[in-house]
Chains A and B, each alone.
Chain A
């Protein structure tokens, strides 16, 4: 992957100005030009294509977790999952099912992971939405997953925090999951953020909070989570629960 050089503050501002003066259509064109995966889809960058139809393309990942790791890409450029229309998302999952079967039979593996990352904190490395299809064998230790038991009280707290907003979203239309605010403004802001993000180094560890302007009124909860000092490895589960529990008070 090509990393763009770090911009100075002035350069970044000039770039943002330029982008603000572009029409939404021009912005979308710019996104596509900058997007490596759009170029793979159009054939400008060569790739090993396993599956293709009018909506999507599946290619072998050149930096795979393991042999046979596939990337399933919608041909249309979407940065994150909420932008993907419901019919397309359904189609992508149907194709994932087919490709999972192909991996299981061709590679004689005992499992597959379907994995999606939304946002740098979740491990999203590219600005084009994609589904990872990873063949797995017992004991390969690719994604060490440790499940923990949580308190029933915490389960209820999560439910209380999320349920209302979830029911609102599900009660809306079926054409994609757009966040709360006015969708037209949100899209333009997202596009601007996207273009600037791409121009900077895409290194989630180096991405400090200065680049993040919370578009949604989550300021209070965000501050709390930032103030709590978090440890990286082998966190005490009860410490995690306490922190999360704090968020719901």
Chain B
């Protein structure tokens, strides 16, 4: 299965690359919501947001910020949207994470607005509880993992210390044997 963005990175696909550095690429693709749309994506292939490291993600976001300003100033856009389509349900159509910078004009025919829904109070409360509980659970898991990592590091460094202590003892023993 081919990945359109990996093809751009390798130079196999036709795309206008504006910028690249060690981790990220900025390019104009041929399949867009509106002309002028620019994609910012990591070089490392990862399909979804959750698999991107915080460093790379932050870097992509700041590059996208720069693209947004550049587009605003040079393409005569009256506004910009940033969009991440994370998962099939969100309209993701390429298996490689990207941030899309979309230039906007008034009456440009793009409909990126949703109809606000009226949600009943008790459903809001239920949703709140679901999200809150999941967040707490995730944070607890994360801190357990971090604790284990810290413990592991501590035991490793203690073991190293023991080994270091044994070496000179061995040397001392051999010195003592000398008549």
Contact surface of A with B, Cβ cutoff 8 Å:
48, 50-51, 60, 62-68, 70, 81-82, 84, 86, 89-94, 96-107, 109-124, 134, 136-138, 140, 142-150, 152, 154-156, 158-159, 161-163, 165-167, 169-170, 174, 177, 179-180, 204, 216, 218, 221-222, 224-225, 230-235, 240-241, 244, 247
Contacts and interface: CB of A to CB of B under 8 A. Distances in A.
Contact of A166 (B18, B87, B132): B18
A1 to B, nearest CB: 10
Q: How large is the interface on B (under 10, 10 to 19, 20 to 34, 35 or more residues)?
A: 35 or more
A154 B117 CA distance: 38
Interface hub of B52, B54, B74 (most chain A Cβ within 10 A) = B74
B104 interface: yes
Contact of A225 (B38, B63, B88, B105): B105
- The majority secondary structure among interface residues of chain B is mixed
Contact of A122 (B80, B92, B127, B131): B80
Contact of A101 (B14, B34, B68, B138): B138
Contacts of B71: 162
Contacts of B76: 218, 221-222, 224-225, 247
B30 interface: yes
| Residue of A68, A102, A146, A232 most packed against chain B (CB within 10 A) | A102
Given A147-B93, A149-B30, 16 more contacts: A65-B114, A91-B58, A96-B49, A97-B54, A98-B138, A112-B87, A112-B90, A113-B90, A147-B31, A150-B30, A158-B16, A174-B62, A177-B62, A179-B73, A224-B76, A230-B107
